[in-house]
Amino acid sequence: MSGASFLAITTIYAETGSGFVVPSASAKAGVEAMSKSLAAEWGKYGMRFNVIQPGPIKTKGAFSRLDPTGAFEKEIIDRIPCGRLGTVEELANLAAFLCSDYASWINGAVIRFDGGEEVLISGEFNSLRKVTREQWDTIEGLIRKTKGS
């Protein structure tokens, strides 16, 4: 047997959970667990199982349901460090790579594909990115005046 590559497309909230999407999050979390389990079990047969967790990618199907008025698009983009939505072409390129021979040693991977959204919304101090350069200078001056802690 020459093997095969299996690719699941889930979402970032399959790992973290999220309000308002319980059935979707639960189903996709199951797919991720299955993919990782099969990667361990069936890798010896040359079968690879990987997962892509896309963040927001603007498509007619998704955004007509998730943001039908367009009221939330700016808010979504504001919480993505890369400052934009992903594209279908970028997702397709990653998918093609993971299924190709170039990725023949990638097995059991879950790849977050979200422009940094998840790490921004989960980071305890990430709200500090709103601090201006002048505010940083003030903070630095105050810190340098202390004798340590």
Helix (H, G, I), strand (E, B) or coil at 86: strand
Q: How does DSSP assign 4-26, residue by residue?
A: EEEEEE--THHHH--TT-HHHHH
Q: Tell me whether residue 102 is one of the annotated catalytic residues.
A: no
CA dist 31 and 143 (Å) reads 48
Q: Nearest 5°: CA angle at 122, between 128 and 6?
A: 140
* 10, 12, 13, 113: the active-site residue: 13
Amino acid occupying residue 10: T
Write out the catalytic residue numbers: 13
